[in-house]
């Protein structure tokens, strides 16, 4: 398994950074290689990617989601991958976003790319684009404030569910 850990500080409140990250279908705006994400239900996603000419389509399941703190997922089919994104309030207007990924490179292109650090560069660049995107907007495009524990939704007491995009 290959692993990547990258972080970035963004100049928005933790709730803004977290809320934007819950808008999975907006990932192609700032993640190169992600062609589309379809949210099937509250915890199921379908990804379509094209990274260095390697096209993939796979499902993912959100295992844990804690508003303003953490989102963790695992793929439900190949390619095998799992990850966690954590959010740390540095002060009222700044947040550290940390992405941790584990994935199983398949084939020569992916194995070579991983060995040469292409996956680290990709995640770092995607985080930079996320920073530019959220800081230029100043507000999230939507939010989802429910909690997920072991793949089960537990509505957040402050008002749950998917909110209208902004």
- Tell me, what CATH number does 36's domain have? 3.30.530.20
Tokens, residue 153: 């939704």
Residue 154: inside a domain: no
CA angle 139, 67, 97 (to 5 degrees): 65
Residue 39: inside a domain: yes
Confidence of residue 157 (pLDDT cuts 50, 70, 90): low
- Tell me phi and psi for residue 121, to 5 degrees: -65, -40
pLDDT of 114-147, one tens digit each?
Answer: 888 888 999 999 999 999 999 999 999 999 999 9
Residue 158: inside a domain: no
Q: Report the C-alpha gap between 47 and 61 in whole angstroms.
A: 11
Owning domain of residue 98? 2-140
> How many domains is the chain built from?
1
Residue 77 burial class via C-beta count within 10 angstroms: exposed 0-12, middle 13-18, buried 19 and up = exposed
pLDDT of 19-49, one tens digit each?
Answer: 999 999 999 999 999 999 999 999 999 999 9
């Amino acid at each position: 398994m290959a692993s990547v850990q990258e972080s970035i500080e963004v100049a928005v409140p933790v709730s803004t950074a977290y809320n934007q990250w819950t808008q999975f279908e907006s990932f192609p705006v700032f993640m190169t290689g992600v062609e589309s994400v379809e949210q099937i239900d509250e915890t199921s996603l379908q990804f379509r990617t094209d990274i260095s000419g390697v096209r993939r389509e796979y499902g993912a399941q959100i295992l844990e989601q804690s508003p303003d703190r953490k989102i963790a997922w695992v793929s439900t089919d190949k390619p095998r991958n799992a990850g966690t994104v954590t959010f740390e309030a540095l002060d009222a207007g700044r947040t550290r976003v940390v992405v941790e990924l584990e994935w199983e490179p398949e084939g020569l292109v992916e194995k070579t790319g991983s060995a040469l650090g292409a996956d680290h560069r990709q995640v770092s660049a995607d985080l930079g684009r996320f920073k530019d995107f959220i800081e230029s907007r100043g507000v999230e495009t939507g939010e989802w404030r429910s909690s997920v524990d072991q793949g089960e939704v537990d509505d957040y007491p402050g008002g749950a569910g998917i909110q209208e995009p902004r």
